């Protein structure tokens, strides 16, 4: 009955039960909220605070760790077409706080099961050292990181960093160089531009080199084949744009994989093109002839008696393939006469010869964006004997880089452009200075074509690309200061296409051995020259150089070398006196001079 004492008591009990339930609910909600707060706080600690604090703690343990993060900001390096030469790969490195490792022996045993290449004794010693920071392994693979992580060993941590990788392997190692494990440049471009590559304001902006990987591949392939065929100890090559100084290819063999620099031999690390200095043999006759014509000490129509060797002091200067007669200037160059070259240099004189070599950049250490640059070996005294020997490539040692740079000036109109491994902006004129009269440069191109047409460099011909060049074979100096006749250093330096030159190509082969197919000969005409021809045939289409008809009247006229006493032929009329190649005209002049 409503309002009865029994009902009042019943309602009071129900209300008390309801109030109690509400209280328990509030307590439960509070407990759950507290639990969520604890879990959330722990999650923040693990994902945000711990991840941010670990490098800070590690830096406290090891001050160098902070510097190592600079590697994460290192710029990529690319070739002139944007192909990657060096870039970064994200990796994890494993370190430990030994103070937090509870069982060093047990932890070391378990860890070595995941990373079997680690010595268990060394790992145990590190974990038991009591230090606050020790590296265990740098550069783990994702699988290795997973295996270590699943062990759940207290006191082990991962530090996120990046590793420098070189997708092209050994292909550009002597140009690009490499870094150490902490991201410091050790050689090549990596060392020269170390600070710039680590500059955080340049992140993602690649460093563009002048190298063309396609040309680099061709050059390395042909040099490697030549070294193998002639059982040589090494070789190298360079391709240079003669109007900008840009180095399109630079190869030195043997080489090595920049990912494994610790396994590279001293010989493999040596850059033969920029660091090695050599007596360049008869390739120096290119400079000698240009020098004499530029000073005007001899004219193209002049010449010298090369009928007998020159005896001076204790030296005898003779020709390898003597003609035993008077030779014109074109013949001295084409037949590579030491006698004629020496007499030509004497007429210039020691002082002017030295001045010319200085002007052409042959007496100073060249400037290039590499730390591996060799300084030339210049004679202590520069008198008549030195003047003679330098004329045909002995007594002055230079780098192949210097020879290629000077040859570029000789065929480009006489402007010496400093070499560079950095891609030049289009439309911006390259720095340079006039070192040779343009008319001398024009003549030198034609004389270099003669060497390939009918001289010592016939095997360098590349049909359709009008190659001109000069051979050079020198004997290497032995330990006693004399020359080793069995240890040859061969060089061929060439330009193409010589009617409108654009590139210099130079190849050197170190200590080749004669083969049956070369009749036992191992000179530059048999070793380096054929390699030059093959390289030009392969790279000319890559570089956009169109082939031409080398035997057309217009081309023959462009390459005509005038000789006094001979009328200018009519190149458009196919008669016995028209379209006569320059070497034929010279031979005619030779007969006339011999009869006088």
The residues carrying an active-site annotation are 282
Residues whose CB is less than 8 angstroms from the CB of residue 77 and which lie 6 or more positions away in sequence, other chains included: 84, 85, 86, 87, 176, 189, 190, 197, 206, 207, 209
Distances (CA, A) of 228 to 172, 232, 353, 527: 20, 7, 38, 11
User: Which residues, other chains included, contact 305 with Cβ-Cβ below 8 Å and sequence gap of 6+?
Assistant: 325, 326, 343
- Half-sphere exposure in the Cβ direction for 549 (13 Å, CA): 5
Q: Are 159 and 58 in contact (CB under 8 A)?
A: yes
DSSP structural state of residue 567 = P
How far, in Å, CA of 314 to CA of 347, rounded? 21
Burial (0-12, 13-18, 19+ Cβ within 10 Å), 309: middle
Q: Give the count of beta carbons closer than 10 Å to the beta carbon of residue 110.
A: 15
| Count of C-beta atoms within a 10 Å radius of residue 123 | 23
The token pair at 532 is: 């030059």
Interacting residues of 397 by C-beta distance below 8 A, sequence separation 6+: 277, 278, 279, 280, 376, 377
Angle at 527 between CA 330 and CA 512, to 5 degrees: 125
CA distances 565 to 200, 329, 330, 473, 553, Å, are 69, 15, 15, 34, 21
């Amino acid at each position: 009955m409503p309002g009865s004492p029994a009902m009042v008591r019943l309602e009071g009990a129900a209300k008390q039960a309801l109030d109690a339930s509400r209280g328990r609910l509030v307590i439960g909600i509070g407990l759950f909220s507290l639990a969520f707060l604890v879990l959330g706080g722990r999650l923040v600690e693990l994902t945000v605070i711990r991840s941010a604090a670990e490098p800070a703690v590690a830096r406290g343990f090891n001050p160098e760790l902070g510097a190592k993060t600079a590697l994460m900001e290192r710029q990529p390096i690319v070739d002139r077409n944007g192909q990657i030469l060096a870039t970064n790969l994200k990796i994890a490195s494993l370190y430990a706080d030994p103070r937090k490792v509870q069982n060093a022996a047990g932890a070391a045993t378990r860890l070595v099961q995941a990373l079997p290449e680690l010595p268990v004794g060394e790992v145990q010693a590190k974990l038991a050292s009591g230090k606050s920071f020790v590296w265990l392994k740098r550069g783990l693979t994702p699988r290795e990181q997973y295996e270590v992580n699943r062990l759940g060993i207290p006191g082990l941590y991962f530090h996120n960093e990046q590793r420098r990788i070189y997708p092209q392997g050994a292909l550009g190692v002597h140009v690009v160089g490499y870094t150490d494990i902490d991201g410091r440049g050790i050689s090549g471009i990596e060392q020269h531009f170390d600070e710039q590559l680590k500059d955080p304001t340049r992140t993602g902006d690649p460093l563009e080199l002048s190298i063309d990987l396609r040309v680099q591949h061709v050059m390395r392939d042909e040099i490697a084949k030549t070294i193998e065929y002639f059982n040589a100890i090494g070789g190298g090559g360079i391709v240079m744009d003669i109007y900008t100084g840009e180095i399109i290819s630079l190869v030195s063999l043997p080489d090595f994989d920049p990912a494994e620099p610790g396994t590279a031999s001293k010989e493999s690390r040596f850059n033969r093109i920029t660091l090695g200095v050599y007596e360049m043999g008869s390739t120096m006759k290119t400079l000698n002839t240009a020098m004499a014509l530029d000073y005007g000490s001899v004219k193209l129509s002049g010449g010298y008696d090369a009928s007998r060797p020159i005896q001076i002091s204790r030296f005898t200067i003779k020709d390898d393939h003597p003609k035993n007669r008077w030779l014109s200037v074109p013949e001295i160059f084409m037949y590579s006469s030491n006698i004629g070259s020496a007499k030509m240099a004497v007429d210039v004189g020691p002082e002017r010869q030295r001045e010319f070599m200085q002007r052409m950049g042959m007496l100073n250490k060249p400037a290039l964006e590499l730390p591996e640059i060799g300084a030339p070996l210049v004679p202590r005294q520069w008198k008549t004997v030195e003047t003679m020997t330098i004329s045909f490539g002995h007594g002055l040692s230079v780098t192949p880089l210097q020879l290629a740079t000077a040859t570029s000036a000789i065929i480009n109109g006489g402007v010496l452009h400093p070499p560079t491994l950095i891609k030049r902006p289009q439309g911006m004129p390259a720095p340079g200075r006039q070192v040779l009269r343009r008319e001398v440069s024009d003549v030198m191109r034609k004389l270099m074509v003669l060497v390939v047409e009918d001289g010592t460099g016939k095997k360098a011909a590349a049909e359709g690309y009008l190659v001109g060049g000069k051979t050079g074979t020198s004997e290497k100096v032995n330990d006693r200061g004399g020359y080793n006749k069995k240890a040859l250093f061969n060089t061929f330096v060439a330009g193409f296409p010589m009617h409108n030159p654009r590139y210099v190509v130079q190849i050197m082969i170190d200590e080749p051995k004669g083969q049956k197919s070369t009749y036992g000969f191992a000179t530059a005409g048999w070793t380096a020259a054929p390699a030059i021809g093959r390289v030009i045939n392969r790279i000319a289409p890559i570089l956009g150089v169109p082939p031409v008809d080398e035997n057309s009247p217009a081309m023959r006229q462009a390459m005509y070398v005038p000789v006094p006493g001979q009328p200018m032929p009519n190149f458009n009329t196919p008669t016995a006196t028209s379209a006569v190649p320059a070497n034929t005209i010279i031979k005619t002049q030779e007969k006339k001079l011999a009869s006088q």
